[in-house]
Structure 1
Amino acid sequence: MRTSDGVYLAVVEFGGDGPPVLLLHGLMGRATTWWPQTRWLTRHGRVLAVDARGHGRSQAAGPWTTARMAADAAEVIEQAGAGPAVVIGHSMGGLHGLVLAAQRPDLVRALVVEDMAVDFRDATGRNLDDARAWFGAVPQPFPSLAAVRQAFGHPRPEFGEYMAECVEERADGYHLLTRVGDAVQIAAEWAAVDHWAAVGAVRCPTLLLEAEQSVAPVGHMVELARRIPGAWHVRVPGTGHLVHAGAPAAYRATVERFLAGLP
């Protein structure tokens, strides 16, 4: 599909009937990383996932702001033409979903946010230089998919498996689908801007899933739940940032319990 500012976005249809369920991946991810969850989510509606701009098979074109990328998600729902969606987002995708729910409540029936923060400004001891250093240390090209898994899979093997789906093979080896410079620009906004105002505007049913080893500041997702009327906060024991990949059974049980209670 083409966005209103002319950027091509790759949208993946996973099947299912009924109201749309839109899946939004995290930074450096892609739509197809949701495939294991789509096997059961298709019982709850028509499941779509989108490669965010600069990710997967979508065009690498800014602006790289949260507002623009949330607007992209809104346009996916509008072009699907099937009414308000259940929006499920991980990390960056959770932030985009939350801002979408705040700005376009007509398009969001319910919201699931996985391990996300709306304010990273100095709260975690990280800064943009840290992000540049981390991305700059990624050893591209990778000689094999096993090397991708090894580079990203410690201490959480599920992250290595996840990232092995987010590369493409070229003549000299495997490269990340997302350009490092683009990822740094996206992260730069998180180091400078907070989205607490959007939190206060969310009115749809909301599930907040937090990893035990979360990337969010301590207490942050509890505070999100306090500010969103009726929000349900669940901390999943034994998990890292990729809750849906690291604890798929617990993730499914929690999300399906939430979906079963929707009006």
Structure 2
Amino acid sequence: MTTRTPPEPERGAMYVSGRRLSFLDFGGPGRPLLALHGHFGEGRTFTRLAGELGDAWRVVALDQRGHGHSDRSADYSRTGYVEDAAAVLEHLGIGGAVVLGHSLGGVNAYQLAARRPGLVDALIVEDIGAQVDDDLSFALSWPHRASTRSGLLHGLGPSASYLVDAVREYPDGWGLAFDPRDMNASQRLLNGDHWDDWLAGDCPALLVRGGRSTVLSAEHARSMAARRPRTRLVELPAGHSVHETVPVEFAEAVGGFLGAL
């Protein structure tokens, strides 16, 4: 696949019960693909993918509740996230889309397919299982604000390299584009057995696992692919954030799947 220049997206917004949901629309005449990031992320993490896919696909990348340019919420339930994704598709007048999700976004994607099947033509799930058990309480030790950008990055310690794109300047100092307390609460509500949702749909699905992932084991990924019809498993040489670590290989896997739809 030839590396393409990422397109300039248009930032859009809509409101759900007075709460702002922001998204990046990379435009173009192609078929719609809704992209859902993981915890600590935001929609722009899929900029490279949008460029690699080219005009054949119109990528819409949501800043999920409590992340990026979207408002915080008092509710980080499974239903809340799924309803946000459905609301964006309906707001844009998209009757059916391919839905891609990384980590948190992957569960949101396959639960959307299970609960609102008319909105999802195909699924791409990146490095998350049908049973989730993780802990983000370590994020509660991160500084809320710092007087300088460098001070914030220093306070984030080893996590700084992963979070550099989430750093923002606020009126009262430098902080992150999310509240760690929200992320911790969201993860607690994400944990659980979601096999029923994973198995509920039968639309075509691509499951991408990072070969070095500590989040999705090879055995669990194989079981997910074997038990769900029309599901293809691809493993790439990466950890949990496959689309960021090996963007070209990830785009090739996604593009090959999309081309067969």
- Matching residue's letter, 1:206: A
1: CA distance, partners of 2:98 / 2:229: 17
Secondary structure of the residue aligned to 1:9 is strand
2: CA distance, partners of 1:189 / 1:103: 17
Query: CA 1:153–1:247 in structure 2 vs 1: closer, same or farther (change >3 Å)?
Result: farther
CA contact (8 A) 2:77 2:189 kept: yes
- CA distances 1:192-249 after superposition (whole Å, capped 9, x unpaired): x321110111211100000112212452222211222020001112x11110110011
Secondary structure of the residue aligned to 1:55 is coil
CA contact (8 A) 2:104 2:190 kept: no
Aligned residues: 246
In structure 2, the partner of 1:182 is 182
In structure 2, the partner of 1:230 is 230
In structure 1, the partner of 2:15 is 2
In structure 1, the partner of 2:200 is 201
Please list every run of 5 or more consecutive structure 1 residues that lacks an aligned counterpart in the other structure: none
TM-score, normalisation: structure 2: 0.86
2: CA distance, partners of 1:29 / 1:182: 13
CA contact (8 A) 2:45 2:244 kept: no
2: CA distance, partners of 1:42 / 1:84: 19
2: CA distance, partners of 1:96 / 1:149: 32
Between Structure 1 and Structure 2, the one with more strand by share is 2
Secondary structure of the residue aligned to 1:241 is coil
CA contact (8 A) 2:36 2:43 kept: yes
In structure 1, the partner of 2:256 is 257
Give the one of 70, 89, 94 matched to 2:101: 89
Please list every run of 5 or more consecutive structure 2 residues that lacks an aligned counterpart in the other structure: 1-13
Please, which moves more after superposition, 139-148 or 165-174?
139-148
Are residue 213 (structure 1) and residue 212 (structure 2) matched?
Answer: yes
Structure 1 residue 174: deviation in Å? Answer: 2.8
Structure 1 residue 176: deviation in Å? Answer: 1.2
1: CA distance, partners of 2:243 / 2:150: 22
Structure 1 residue 106: deviation in Å? Answer: 0.8
Structure 1 residue 59: deviation in Å? Answer: 1.1
Structure 1 residue 6: deviation in Å? Answer: 3.6
- Matching residue's letter, 1:242: S
TM-score, normalisation: structure 1: 0.85
Structure 1 residue 255: deviation in Å? Answer: 0.6
Give the one of 99, 114, 119 matched to 1:102: 114
CA RMSD between the two structures: 2.2
In structure 2, the partner of 1:144 is 149
- CA distances 1:39-96 after superposition (whole Å, capped 9, x unpaired): 1234222221111111111110131012220111011111111321111111111110
- CA distances 1:8-36 after superposition (whole Å, capped 9, x unpaired): 10021112213311110100111112111
- Matching residue's letter, 1:64: Y
CA contact (8 A) 2:208 2:234 kept: yes
Within 5 A, what are the aligned runs for 1:4-153?
5-121=17-133, 128=135, 131-132=136-137, 134-141=138-145, 143-144=148-149, 148=153, 151=156
